[in-house]
Amino acid sequence: MKSLRGCCLPLALSLAWFPNVLYGQELGNEQLESLVPLQEVAEAAEGAIAEVTDKPAAEPETDAAVEAAVVKLNVTSRAPDLFRPWTKAAPSKSSGSGVVIAGPRILTNAHVVMHASEVLVQLRQGGDQLRGKVTAIAPGIDLAIVELLDASGLDGITPLLLAAELPMPKSHISVYGYPTGGDDLSVTAGTVSRIEFTGYNFGTWGTRVQVDAALNPGNSGGPAIQDGKIVGLVFSKIQEADNIGYLIPPEEIESFLKDASDGEYDGNPQMFDSYQTAENEALRAFLDMPKEMTGIAIAEPYKDGDDYPLKRWDVITHVGPHAIDNQGYVEVREGLRLKFQYYVPKLANNGKIELTVVRDGKSQVVHAPVAPDRELLIPTLKDRYPEYFIYGPIVFEPVTQEYVRGLGGQGVSMLMALDSPILKRLYEAPEEPGEELVVVATRLFPHPITKGYDNRPLGVIKSVNGVEIKNLRQLGELLRDSKDEFLRFEMADRNESLVFRRSEIGEATEQILTDEGIRFQASQQLRDIWED
């Protein structure tokens, strides 16, 4: 695959938290740029999804009304400490922008308020900073909602409306926000240069608007305005290019707000099959595609099995009623072609999408399954904190994509040397429901019962006393219920086995928790194992 120039480093959050993982992409298409979240780090800064009842918003009448609706967010956050999962990383301070919408609520980027322990809202007209809380967050599409603890703080501010349609290329916009370089509101002129359907974060796909505008750290979460309405929310830029930034368009914002309105955000339904274009003459002849036929070929179905409706070498000719061309694009409006997946979340119904496919020369309609996330044995944490439990000197943790990325090059080299299943199965689906890879997350805590062991982390637990380990909860229950004199931990890689006397490792647990200043033996989701 081809890679675009302009590889980026994040300004505020590691790409481990916002990876552009491409799933279901057309084979041979270029990879997406790594994008910079525009959140300002301030080392010495100045300063669960809830059900929402919307109030209708009136249309702002003046530029002053628009300016009043744009706020600054000063955020204190505590990211996970993946290698000390019983605690969190040190607090960090950063700032971003937000915009008041109907509710009244404040719309911003997920990366601005990710893992926030405190959100302070500064209004343009000044006054004390107002305390807010995150009530909805979608890390994949990079959107979040903040509400004030005292909603009256937004009295007198007219919420802004979302534009009804995508902006037109070459049209002019004004970008509002609080970027680095000053304290007051900044307004920057720009031009819409491109609209595409592409990858966001954590395998999520959506519509994205490219603009030519001077965007800087702190602009994240600020609105792009056209005719007094929001035509996009700033969320990223290309590091090595001047004045190229990206907006989340109104249709993605509307979808997020509608999804989160029931108190739980599910995510946009997507397809995860792999495709290839049907332009090559020999390929078309092999697929028995006449000249007038257009579509895109299935290179690899997402799942095997007779009951899965898509097969290798199927040619998808239509998504719903929309014809797909030989490059996998559909016409959205005159002059605008987007990848056919654009229509998947719009047309999906009850977890399925209607497709017209040609198989063995015959056209037929199938209903393919769709879902917000790809099934992965090694999932992403997104905005969650890792699960863990501690038993004696061992810290157990399910492997996540963030954990692997956090290892860096040296850690990955160690996994290769260990012939670890972590690398072999990094993007595989679980073989059975609930399957996890459980890893020894850190070096063993110092204690006399560890004498003679190599004390290397990263070992994947294969079995305990011959019982195969399926996930962290099962491991905890097995250790709790064991009556054996010895506990034998076998690894699924080249790490050495660990054997402890059950009585000694049980006694060591409380001592180690006390010595290390660890409050809880297990993460909240697993504490019931030891409390029963």
Q: Which residues are catalytic?
A: 111, 142, 220
* Both tokens assigned to 44: 């010495």
Listing DSSP states for 26-87 in one string gives EETPPPPPP-EE--EE-TT-----------PPPPP-SHHHHHHTEEEEEEEE--B-TTSTTS
Q: Are 307 and 331 in contact (CB under 8 A)?
A: no
- 341: helix, coil or strand? helix
Q: Are 154 and 127 in contact (CB under 8 A)?
A: no
Q: Are 27 and 124 in contact (CB under 8 A)?
A: no
Q: How far is Cα 118 from Cα 102, in angstroms, rounded to an integer?
A: 23
371 Cβ neighbours under 8 A, 6+ residues apart: 269, 270, 272, 351
Comparing CA positions, the residue from 194, 241, 188 lying closest to residue 218 is 188
Q: How far is Cα 246 from Cα 105, in angstroms, rounded to an integer?
A: 23
Q: How far is Cα 284 from Cα 189, in angstroms, rounded to an integer?
A: 47
Tokens 């830029």 belong to 237
Amino acid at 240: E
DSSP state of 453: -
Parallel, antiparallel, or unpaired for β 244-248 and 229-237?
antiparallel
Comparing CA positions, the residue from 350, 359, 365, 439 lying closest to residue 402 is 439
From the number of C-beta atoms within 10 Å of its C-beta (0-12, 13-18, 19+), residue 523 rates as middle
CA 184 from centroid of its chain's CA atoms: 31
- Cα of first residue to Cα of last residue in the chain, in angstroms, is 52
Phi, psi of 477 (to 5 degrees): -65, -35
Q: How far is Cα 378 from Cα 203, in angstroms, rounded to an integer?
A: 13
Q: How far is Cα 203 from Cα 32, in angstroms, rounded to an integer?
A: 11
Tokens 């996994």 belong to 415
Q: How far is Cα 440 from Cα 443, in angstroms, rounded to an integer?
A: 8
- 313: helix, coil or strand? coil
